[in-house]
Amino acid sequence: MMTLALIGAGKWGQNYLQLTSQLNTCVIKYVCAQRQETLKLLPDRYIKTLSINDLAKKNDIDGFIIATPGSTHFEIAKYLLSLGRNLLIEKPLTTDYNQALILQKIWQVKKPKVLVGHTYLYNPAYKIFKKLYKDVEAVKSINFEGLSSPERKDSSVIWDWGPHPISMLIDLIKQPIKKVRARGLIKSSNTKLYDKVYATLQFINGIKASIHISWQGSDKVRKLTVEGRDKKIEFDDTNTNQRKILVQIPNNLPRYPNYKPEPALNYELLEFAAAIHSSKKITSDINLGVKVTRILSAIEQSAANNSKLVKLD
């Protein structure tokens, strides 16, 4: 049984608490939150604290889950990585590329296990979609739409929703991104945070991908579509009828491949536990987290400069 400490008891923290209560491979023993009022709402079976320093002194903790707002990840991860502690960090790794590089450099000293929570990479339907992608002939276009989700006050939609399509595209195409161009819209001049972004990515092999992410929208959309010469495939995470994956071949009826309807977070936690105990490879490791942060920073840079093309070395 792996012993975990949870830092952050908000929405995502609650998801981890609920999930681990159903697993027999790991247990959350410690919970750290910013306010005492938050801790008081949790069951007494958890050891509660307001201090990350106190947690870092515990020798029975196999791994830490950082489920705090993205803008706080850097300082928390920097401290724990310097101690060589194993981390599961919710996406994004950080909200600044230079900070991500600093974390990567600290990690390289002791190389503890680090999993960045790019949850879609662990989604069972996405995994089937990924296998189907390998058979698509002459990819013509790739499009992602992520619309209608709660607004955040600590970061723009780039850092809130951007990690999802970027992590999947890197995972699918497995080629460096060469160019980025983006246009962002700001709903309120008071926040100066982008709430709607359109971006185009060009990979070194010539494939182009379009992204439309927004907190706004009348309908919730979470859809990744690939069109090739021979077929169209689609991953629609909002479909609730066991039809999250579509395969459409011209002049044929659509096909909906089967997948396991299990929570992605389950697989994510199991992989983290396996990596700690058996050195299993991590799908969404710190190096992928750094790559995603780099692309998100380029999108932000392009949007801030009137859609100026950003070239990546």
pLDDT for 24-55, tens place per residue? 889 999 999 999 999 999 999 999 999 999 99
Confidence of residue 313 (pLDDT cuts 50, 70, 90): confident
Note down the domain range covering 51.
Answer: 2-120+265-284
pLDDT at 152: 85
Whether residues 157 and 300 fall in one domain = yes
Whether residues 132 and 243 fall in one domain = yes
Whether residues 96 and 59 fall in one domain = yes
Whether residues 218 and 270 fall in one domain = no
CATH code of the domain in which 255 resides: 3.30.360.10
Asked whether 255 and 135 are in contact (CB, 8 A), the reply is no
Q: What is the mean pLDDT of residues 67-74?
A: 96
Q: What is the mean pLDDT of residues 218-222?
A: 92
Whether residues 185 and 256 fall in one domain = yes
pLDDT at 190: 62
pLDDT at 188: 66
Average pLDDT, the chain: 95
pLDDT at 55: 95
pLDDT at 189: 60
The dihedral of CA 254, 149, 169, 119: what is its sign?
A: negative
Q: What is the mean pLDDT of residues 110-136?
A: 97
Q: Which of 201, 205, 202, 199 is nearest to 138 (CA)?
A: 205
Residue 290 falls within a domain, yes or no? no
Q: What is the DSSP string of 257-284?
A: -------HHHHHHHHHHHHHHH-PPPTT
Q: Per-residue pLDDT tens for 265-280?
A: 999 999 999 999 988 8
Q: Per-residue pLDDT tens for 135-144?
A: 999 999 999 9
Whether residues 195 and 90 fall in one domain = no
Whether residues 16 and 111 fall in one domain = yes
Number of compact structural domains in the chain: 2
Q: What is the DSSP string of the chain?
A: -EEEEEE--SHHHHHHHHHHTT-SSEEEEEEE-S-HHHHHTS-TTSEEES-HHHHHT-SS--EEEE-S-GGGHHHHHHHHHHTT--EEEESPS-SSHHHHHHHHHHHHHH---EEEE-GGGG-HHHHHHHHHHTT--S--EEEEEEE-----SSS-HHHHTTHHHHHHHHHHH-S-EEEEEEEEEES-TTT--EEEEEEEEEETTS-EEEEEEES--SS-EEEEEEE-SS-EEEEETT--SS--EEEE-TTS--B--------HHHHHHHHHHHHHHH-PPPTTBHHHHHHHHHHHHHHHHHHHTTT--EE--
Q: Per-residue pLDDT tens for 105-115?
A: 999 999 999 99
Q: How far apart are CA 123 and CA 117, in angstroms?
A: 12
Count other Cβ atoms within 10 Å, centred on residue 80: 24
Task: Using the predicted structure, report yes or no on whether residue 75 has a pLDDT greater than 90.
Answer: yes
pLDDT at 269: 94
Q: Per-residue pLDDT tens for 152-203?
A: 888 899 999 999 999 999 999 999 999 999 999 997 666 679 999 999 999 9
Whether residues 13 and 157 fall in one domain = no
CATH code of the domain in which 26 resides: 3.40.50.720
Give this prediction's pTM.
0.96
pLDDT at 7: 98
Percentage, residues of the chain above pLDDT 90: 88
pLDDT at 187: 74
Residue 66 falls within a domain, yes or no? yes
Percentage, residues of the chain above pLDDT 70: 99
Task: Using the predicted structure, report yes or no on whether residue 255 has a pLDDT greater than 90.
Answer: yes
